């Protein structure tokens, strides 16, 4: 998403993309190792898988290392933003706000909030609202540029409140159908549902790895990105 916002702002840089990626990964890891609840769950599952017991000194060392590494990466990220703003193609302010807001909320959801499930829920709500909004906007732009859009595209992505509501209802129904099945089934049917949930999740992550690829001309066309040259 950050790369798409930068591209629409006229900033296409592989160096920026790499720094942004390391910046996000470092903060993601830092929060996880400083969240007592998430760390407890992770270690419990790892111990079940045969991981030897980890002493508190090692955990403290990992936490300190994450602070040092993330501080260095954050410093480099800030300096790169400043350097970009001195050129004729500064980075997107929307992207910067997205990163800072998401990281701050990620921290809040997993460090102050002690309940793991509650923390995951409140962060996923924020993530899903933003992600689904991004998807709807993207497909809406694609619909306007398509000469003969399909009936389904017109139903979900037209410029009317009913289309937005239908899109949101289908997204909610998807989650309700899967989670409701966990309460309705047991034994083999429940295992089948669990596998379907896992497969659909993996498909989502897999498709996300390339459907927003800015090297793809149709993606650039929909985003309105004319400049394809990257530095």
Q: Does 157 share its domain with 205? A: yes
13-56 tens-digit pLDDT: 889 999 999 999 999 999 999 998 888 888 888 888 888 888 88
Q: DSSP of 130-167, one letter per residue?
A: HHHHHHHHHHHHHHHH-SS--HHHHHHHSSSHHHHHHH
Integer Cα distance of 31 and 102 in angstroms: 12
Average predicted confidence (pLDDT) for the chain = 87
Q: Does 128 share its domain with 16? A: no
Give the number of other Cβ atoms within 10 Å of residue 79's Cβ.
Answer: 11
Domain count, the chain: 2
Q: Does 122 share its domain with 177? A: yes
Q: Does 1 share its domain with 80? A: yes
Integer Cα distance of 231 and 229 in angstroms: 7
Q: Which domain holds residue 146?
A: 115-231
Integer Cα distance of 139 and 222 in angstroms: 8
pLDDT at 230: 57
**Residue where one domain finishes, among candidates 98, 114, 130:** 114
**Residue where one domain finishes, among candidates 66, 81, 114:** 114
- Tokens, residue 196: 């379907």
User: Where does residue 204 fall: left (phi above 0), alpha (psi -120 to 50 degrees), or beta otherwise?
Assistant: alpha
Pairwise pLDDT comparison (70 vs 52), residue with the higher score: 70
Q: Does 109 share its domain with 130? A: no
Q: Does 122 share its domain with 108? A: no
Q: Does 33 share its domain with 108? A: yes
Q: Does 107 share its domain with 180? A: no
130-147 tens-digit pLDDT: 889 988 988 888 888 888
Q: Does 129 share its domain with 231? A: yes
């Amino acid at each position: 998403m950050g790369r798409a916002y930068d591209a629409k702002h006229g900033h296409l840089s592989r160096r920026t993309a790499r720094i942004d990626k390391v910046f996000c990964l470092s903060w993601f890891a830092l929060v996880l190792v400083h969240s007592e609840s998430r760390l407890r769950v992770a270690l419990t599952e790892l111990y079940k898988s045969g991981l030897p017991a980890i002493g508190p000194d090692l955990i403290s060392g990992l936490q300190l290392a994450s602070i040092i590494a993330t501080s260095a990466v954050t410093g480099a990220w800030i300096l790169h933003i400043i350097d970009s703003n001195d050129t004729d193609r500064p980075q997107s302010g929307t992207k910067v706000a997205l990163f800072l807001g998401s990281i701050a909320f990620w921290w809040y959801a997993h460090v102050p909030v002690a309940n793991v499930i509650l923390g995951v829920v409140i962060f996923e709500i924020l993530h899903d609202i933003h992600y689904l909004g991004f998807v709807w906007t993207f497909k809406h732009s694609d619909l306007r540029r398509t000469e003969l859009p399909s009936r389904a595209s017109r139903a979900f992505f037209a410029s009317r409140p009913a289309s937005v509501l239908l899109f949101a209802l289908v997204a909610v129904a998807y989650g309700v159908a899967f989670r409701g099945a966990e309460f309705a089934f047991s034994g083999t049917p429940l295992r089948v549902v669990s596998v379907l949930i896992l497969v659909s999740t993996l498909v989502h992550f897999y498709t996300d790895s390339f459907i927003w690829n800015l090297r793809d001309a149709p993606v650039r066309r929909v985003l309105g990105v004319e400049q394809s040259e990257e530095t």
